[in-house]
Amino acid sequence: MIVQGDPSDIDRFSNDILTYAPPASRIKSIDVFPSIVGEYDRFTVTESRVVNDQITEISPDIAVCDQCLEDMSSDPARIDYPFINCTNCGPRFTIINGLPYDRPVTTMSGFRMCPKCSAEYNDINDRRFHAQPIACNSCGPSCEFTDGKVIIKELREILDKTSSIIDGGGSLALKGVGGYHLACDALNNDAVARLRQGKNRDMKPFAVMFRDLAALKEYCHTDSSEEKELLSWIRPVVLLISKRSLAPQVSNGLVTTGALLPFMPFHYLLFRHLKTPVIVLTSGNISEEPVIKDDSEARDKLLKSADALVSYNRDISNRADDSVVMVTKPGIIIIRRSRGYVPRPVDLAFDAEGILALGAEQKNTFSIGRKNQAIMGQYTGDLKNAGVCDFYRESIENFSSLFRFTPRYIAHDLHPDYYSTLYASFLREKYGIPSVAVQHHHAHIASCLAERCLDEKVIGVSLDGTGYGTDGNMWGGEFMIADTGSFERYCHFDYVPMPGGDRVVDEPWRMAFSYLYKYFGDSFDYYSLEVFRRTEKHKLDLVSEMLGKNINAPLSSGAGRLFDAVSALTGLCHEASFDSEAPMRIESAINHNSDVCYPFRIADTVVFADMFLAILDDLKKVDVSEISARFHNTIAQVIVEVAERIRSSRGIGKVVLSGGVFQNRYILERTFQMLEKRRFMVYTNHQVPVNDGGISLGQTAVASKHFGLCV
Ligand code: ZN
Ligand code: ZN
Ligand code: FE
């Protein structure tokens, strides 16, 4: 930018840039240099030029702003206009097809601006100056309602109809910013149960959208930082502690609610007509497939179970699910990074040019490296689903063309059977480029090092469900001494067989059996415990045989498996009806006033035999919430004690916590607090997910070091 004037004017100008920056802008620094140029007599913004290889950042999608909401009742051309937007708000990433970001390369290209919009678009003093998706009632996109029989195009009628469907206990497919949603009254249990059935969804909790913050606060506890996230332009789903219960089918007995506030103009209009203050708003997909973004697919698949569908005639170019976050004492924890975050890059302290990191398997994201930035793709889902695999490959291609990226190096997980690993070998052949396999838990730790611009030996605590280890076993209770270049496995949770392999994930009681079998053997009286009396005898015999003969019982040190075992033992989760149910139920049960901790032993591994003995004893004496607290306290204590050992033997004082277990708020906060009290420097992920959604960033860091790109 060239600015002409007195030094004081220039100072004021750069201050104004900071003061009046649009909410979604990101100013990294302002540097002022003197320059000799021609005379200018007015302020101009010149046309974007395509410069080869130069990349511009693409803005994530921004929730409708307050001024636009006001305009919806005062601007005659935009009264109740559901696609109102301005330079400060509206869709971005989800409508873009190419760069530079100008209207012709967006899915707005088919809409011709009317004279009023065009005048505003070209007026530098207007809030809609160069707002690419600018539109109004006479020239922009419009909504359409269908129930399979009638089609309604009049907005007022659409709102009447949709609100009466929801208030009457029906359900609706609703086209959002980055894909379709399914919605119903979150206070009507039958409606929620039916929606669940139609979606073919297990019992996983649904996110809900409240009319406004006041309504939300009647049902959920919030503090000021949670409210800030709820109201931010990103408008993520925020995991909150429930205060009053919604329909039981929404959260299925968990003490948290995933809540969000309206982010599209249509949501505000809908709530004006609705009686209920809260609706279920969940991804419009069937089972584990990617969220649906195309209108014809939505009609084919969603209208089968939803009573009606509301769409609009602007295409969604890039999918983006709702992002999910949690506000903890150490800071924000991102659980799903998508709408509002993507494709904002993560700034790195090293060169990542040309690195394509393919992520892991569950909650997958990939990442492309451009100079000293990692641009992470949106949440894709679990790469066990064929539809998710298609979406994954498609997104990698999209990002490559959007950001003019050509892979020069590939980073992937060490697991030989992950889809992302197979895809890595395909790409390696296709481009004839080198690749590196990155151990999963090393990637977790490196993801945190990368976002915090650290590269030194740290105590890496990586706790999660599973990840392929260098010894061929499943890891996940890992204490490492690591930097981005390498890691040493200092200590880990005891190896325990998983009878039936992946079956243990659906049947946590198998892990309860396996732990007791490992520590107390054949002679233990399994039938003295409720958990095994509840289990079918033939299954129990089979599991016992697998363990006795070591058939189909791969070893795991996964912390998630330990949570499974204790959750099953305490009767909280015998069989899981959704992913991570057992750990979520045991976290939900915690008594927050207990400081008691179970005994354990740290040798070459962390041995939990004494803890299980104490739990077995407690099962007869104290209630489940107390056992849950004691168990959680034990895990935090284990982390602290191992960290102390490493510090005293190696002199390392920085601890990095990463892996899915740290989505457990209690574990994260307690561990942080205990470590800081002992004067450790403690770090965790805040820009990318602490779960496997952050793996691709860690792989990028390790690959940069491996291929010698670091500066
Ligand atoms: Zn706006
Ligand atoms: Zn217009
Ligand atoms: Fe993991």
Mean pLDDT over 661-680 rounds to 98
How far, in Å, is the centroid of ligand 3 from the Cα of 660?
6
Mean pLDDT over 485-505 rounds to 97
Pairwise CA distance, residues 91 & 108, whole Å: 10
67 alpha carbon, closest ligand:
1
Pairwise CA distance, residues 589 & 630, whole Å: 11
Answer whether 504's CB lies under 8 Å from 568's CB: no
Pairwise CA distance, residues 379 & 381, whole Å: 6
DSSP 94-110: GGB-SSS--GGGBTTTT
How far, in Å, is the centroid of ligand 1 from the Cα of 155?
20
How far, in Å, is the centroid of ligand 1 from the Cα of 460?
43
Label residue 93 by pLDDT band (50, 70, 90): very high
Which pLDDT value is given to residue 52?
A: 55
How far, in Å, is the centroid of ligand 1 from the Cα of 571?
50
Note the pLDDT tens digit of each residue in 212-227.
999 999 999 999 999 9
How far, in Å, is the centroid of ligand 1 from the Cα of 507?
49
**Is 90 exceeded by the pLDDT of residue 76?**
yes
**Is 90 exceeded by the pLDDT of residue 99?**
no
The answer for residues whose C-beta is within 8 angstroms of residue 480's C-beta and 6 or more apart is 441, 442, 445, 459, 460, 461, 462, 487, 488, 489, 490
Query: Of how many residues is the chain composed?
Result: 711
- Give the Cα-Cα-Cα angle 474, 478, 481 (nearest 5 degrees): 130
Answer whether 147's CB lies under 8 Å from 254's CB: no
135 alpha carbon, closest ligand:
2
Give Cα separations from 466 to 206, 555, 562 (angstroms): 25, 11, 11
**Is 90 exceeded by the pLDDT of residue 36?**
no
Average pLDDT of every residue of the chain: 95
Half-sphere exposure at residue 197, Cβ-oriented, CA atoms within 13 angstroms:
10
- Among candidates 70, 90, 84, 87, which has minimal Cα distance to 233? 90
How far, in Å, is the centroid of ligand 1 from the Cα of 17?
18
Answer whether 459's CB lies under 8 Å from 647's CB: yes
117 alpha carbon, closest ligand:
2
Q: What is the pTM of this model?
A: 0.95
Which tops the pLDDT comparison, 81 or 28? 81
91 alpha carbon, closest ligand:
1
How far, in Å, is the centroid of ligand 3 from the Cα of 675?
22
444 alpha carbon, closest ligand:
3
Label residue 354 by pLDDT band (50, 70, 90): very high
**Is 80 exceeded by the pLDDT of residue 603?**
yes
Which tops the pLDDT comparison, 539 or 201? 539
72 alpha carbon, closest ligand:
1
Instruction: Give the 3-state secondary structure of 35-50.
Output: CCCCCCCCCCCCCCCC
**Is 60 exceeded by the pLDDT of residue 525?**
yes
How far, in Å, is the centroid of ligand 2 from the Cα of 113?
5
Which pLDDT value is given to residue 358?
A: 98
Mean pLDDT over 58-72 rounds to 96
Label residue 37 by pLDDT band (50, 70, 90): confident
Mean pLDDT over 253-267 rounds to 97
Which pLDDT value is given to residue 55?
A: 60
Note the pLDDT tens digit of each residue in 382-417.
999 999 999 999 999 999 999 999 999 999 999 999
Pairwise CA distance, residues 561 & 434, whole Å: 35
Label residue 48 by pLDDT band (50, 70, 90): low
Note the pLDDT tens digit of each residue in 432-470.
999 999 999 999 999 999 999 999 999 999 999 999 999
Label residue 279 by pLDDT band (50, 70, 90): very high
**Is 90 exceeded by the pLDDT of residue 32?**
no
**Is 90 exceeded by the pLDDT of residue 547?**
yes
Mean pLDDT over 374-384 rounds to 95
24 alpha carbon, closest ligand:
1
Mean pLDDT over 657-667 rounds to 98
How far, in Å, is the centroid of ligand 1 from the Cα of 69?
7
Structure tokens that stand for 269 in this block: 């209009």
127 alpha carbon, closest ligand:
1
How far, in Å, is the centroid of ligand 2 from the Cα of 129?
13
439 alpha carbon, closest ligand:
3
Note the pLDDT tens digit of each residue in 619-659.
999 999 999 999 999 999 999 999 999 999 999 999 999 99
Which pLDDT value is given to residue 27?
A: 82
Note the pLDDT tens digit of each residue in 687-700.
999 999 999 999 99
Which pLDDT value is given to residue 53?
A: 55
Please give the radius of gyration of the chain, using alpha carbons only, rounded to the nearest integer. Answer: 27
118 alpha carbon, closest ligand:
2
264 alpha carbon, closest ligand:
1
How far, in Å, is the centroid of ligand 3 from the Cα of 612?
25
How far, in Å, is the centroid of ligand 2 from the Cα of 136?
4
Which tops the pLDDT comparison, 20 or 598? 598
The answer for residues whose C-beta is within 8 angstroms of residue 590's C-beta and 6 or more apart is 625, 628, 629, 632, 666
How far, in Å, is the centroid of ligand 1 from the Cα of 269?
16
Note the pLDDT tens digit of each residue in 181-212.
999 999 999 999 999 998 877 789 999 999 99
75 alpha carbon, closest ligand:
2
Mean pLDDT over 68-74 rounds to 97
DSSP label at 307?
Answer: S
Residues with CB under 5 A from ligand 2 (ion): 114, 117, 136, 139
